[in-house]
Amino acid sequence: MKSSFGKNCRVTIFGGSHEDRIGVTLEGFPQGFIPDLERLQRFMERRAPGNSPFATPRKEPDLVEVETSSPLTLFIRNTNVRSGDYERLQKVPRPGHADYTAYIRYGDSVSMAGGGPFSGRMTAPLCIAGGLAMQVLDQHGIRIGAHISSIGDRQDEYFDPTAISETLLDTLSISDFPVISAEAGEQMKRLILEAKIQGDSVGGIVEACAIGVPAGLGGAMFDGIESILSPILFGIPGVKGLEFGTGFAASLLRGSENNDPFIVENDKIRTVTNHHGGILGGITSGMPLLLRVAFKPTPSIAMEQQSINLSTLEPETLHVEGRHDPCIVLRAVPVVEAAIAIGLLDLLMERTNL
């Protein structure tokens, strides 16, 4: 199965969780760009499974290989699959998963082993695209970063909405559990392990930013930054909510509180506060771009759940086998960064000759 997005740079992701390989084709990528595959591999390692007690034990090196240069196509071989764990699920759908709806939509034409094309495994090729996009954005002074904002009810500190340092983003990018507050991180870890021991799972929120974004990217209505980034972010499996800037909390404020006063500082126009999250009218303002992405608890849990047999329509008690993350938020951090990067690159290509 294939899935595509993008206007100036067309991104097509292909494959399935337990197929021989998964990959991405990038059409219209900036001409003359030479990928730094070593840097890309380091970025991929942040998302790769099997590297943390807080993630799935499925071990995949996620080694990126280049298939063609025009259009640029890269892929990853799936090397650690156990499709037998999913044989029963062909007729007994997992609660919270796409098993039932995919069966209604596609029948038996799509392999759902490991979640097939609906699996979080498919975020690996998205990270390939986003990791390469980051390399281009760096050349234009744009940096992207993210951290775990919350796990369950355990909350990290927020980014400073008006001043986010590259040093902080560098620190988060090399952390094995990217949080701003170490104390909050320890509380989150305990919550994840508690859910894991119980055979359950827990959700959370990723807060992300982009700094160095020039004013003037985007447009009105369906050409706005939010309209471009939202479908890419909602394409990440498990995403259930998204807000920009102050987001839903802005509904509790008055206009006099939510509006960000303009000032001139060092001959540049900026705002005193940043409730707008770097976006006004769908167009970047030059302030840090801020957003938060909410992830549901991993639906594949070891606890018994109620389902039905699609052939007999009789009730069945389901015990999900396989290897699953007790919390997907940790590995989702670089995925959110990747989604933002490829979206911003697509917008940047409208204004510059890339």
User: Which tens digit of pLDDT belongs to each residue from 176-206?
Assistant: 999 999 999 999 999 999 999 999 999 999 9
**Entry pTM:** 0.94
Q: Which residue has the higher pLDDT, 23 or 80?
A: 23
Taking CA 354 as the corner, what is the angle to CA 138 and CA 75, rounded to the nearest 5 degrees?
70
Residue 82: pLDDT over 70: no
**Which segment of 53-57, 101-105, 240-244 scores lowest on mean pLDDT?**
53-57
Distance of CA 192 to the CA centre of its chain: 19
pLDDT level of residue 251 (50, 70, 90 thresholds): very high
CB 131 within 8 A of CB 62: no
Q: For residues 274-309, b (16+ Cβ closer than 10 Å) or e, as one string? A: bbbbbbbebbbbbbbbbbbbbbbbbbbbbeebebee
Query: Residue 58: its pLDDT value, please?
Result: 60
- Number of domains making up the chain: 1
> Residue 163 and residue 287: Cα distance in Å, rounded?
9
Q: At what angle do helices 123-138 and 37-47 cross, to 10 degrees?
A: 130
C-alpha 114/C-alpha 99 separation (Å) is: 10
pLDDT at 322 over 80: no
- The percent of residues above 70 in pLDDT, for the chain, comes to 94
Averaged pLDDT for residues 262-291:
97
CATH for 306: 3.60.150.10
Structure tokens belonging to residue 236: 């990440």
Domain limits for position 150: 2-351
What local confidence, expressed as pLDDT, does residue 61 receive? 77
CA distances from 220 to 63, 208, 227 (A): 40, 23, 9
Over residues 101-142, the pLDDT tens digits come to 999 999 888 878 778 888 889 999 999 999 999 999 999 999
The confidence score (pLDDT) of residue 270 equals 97
